[in-house]
Amino acid sequence: MEYNGGSVIAMVGKGCVAIGSDLRLGNQALTVATNFEKVFPVTDRIYIGMSGLATDVATLREQFRFRVNMYTIKEEREIEPESFAHLVSSTLYERRFGPYFIEPVMAGLWKTQAGEYKPYIAAADLIGCLNFAKDFVVAGTASEKLFGVAEGLWEPDLEPEDLFETISQTLLNGVDRDAYSGWGAVIHVILPDKVITRTLKGRMD
């Protein structure tokens, strides 16, 4: 996990979710890129963030794109966040004894029978052990720091703009104490009708 560095985080809000990552790509202590986003769209309302070995991040991004497309064709509908989380989990567990070195974080909105959208977040370890949290999930080289700040800043039922501020402050202050993460961040706030994406400036050291 320390080879390329990087961190991701996701948080639940009121009728919305947010997910974000830092922008650093390193070769151990040497920073080689400062525009390496680790969060990718899966559907209009599901995003996945991956921290860990960059080559595996790229591989799995394509792998997940392929499997989600197959799912969409076979089922003739879009995948729901919970199904996607299990798809991620089983994809990782397939490589139980020679794992991909990534820790995924997923965020999305799922449609209830009544037609309203409810937040869903999950994370997994590198062999696909899922963690469904009600509040926030973190991964990557700054995960301990992110846990500490998030535990202090997060509160239930945050409105989209407040959620954006909370996840941004958590991510920026967390990665600023981590040598392997930082150099700016990107945040996506997922709402039922749109996704707000903002790229943040951060400390460049």
Binding of other proteins by 63 (CB under 8 A): no
Binding of other proteins by 125 (CB under 8 A): no
Binding of other proteins by 176 (CB under 8 A): yes
Give the span between the Cα atoms of 81 and 130, in whole angstroms. 13
Binding of other proteins by 202 (CB under 8 A): yes
Task: Kindly tell me which of 6 and 202 has the beta carbon lying closer to other proteins.
Answer: 202
Of the listed pieces 26-34, 56-64, 67-75, 165-173, which binds other proteins according to CB under 8 A? 165-173
Task: Kindly tell me which of 116 and 151 has the beta carbon lying closer to other proteins.
Answer: 151
3-state SS assignment for residue 109: strand
Binding of other proteins by 2 (CB under 8 A): no
Tokens in use for 187? 């945040």
Residue of 43, 59, 83, 169 interacting with other proteins (CB under 8 A): 169
Binding of other proteins by 148 (CB under 8 A): yes
Question: Any idea which residue has 């407040």 for tokens?
Answer: 162
CB atoms within 10 A of CB 156: 9
Question: Any idea which residue has 């309203």 for tokens?
Answer: 116
Rounded to a whole number of angstroms, the minimum distance from the CB of residue 134 to other proteins is 13
Task: Please give the span between the terminal C-alpha atoms of the chain, in angstroms, as a whole number.
Answer: 20
3-state SS assignment for residue 55: helix
Strands annotated E in 38-101: 39-43, 46-52
Compute the radius of gyration of the chain from its Cα atoms.
Answer: 16
Rounded to a whole number of angstroms, the minimum distance from the CB of residue 142 to other proteins is 8
Residue of 34, 99, 177, 192 interacting with other proteins (CB under 8 A): 177
Note whether 138 and 8 are within 8 A (CB).
yes
In the complex, the residues that contact other proteins under the rule CB under 8 A are 144-145, 147-149, 151-153, 168-169, 172-174, 176-177, 202
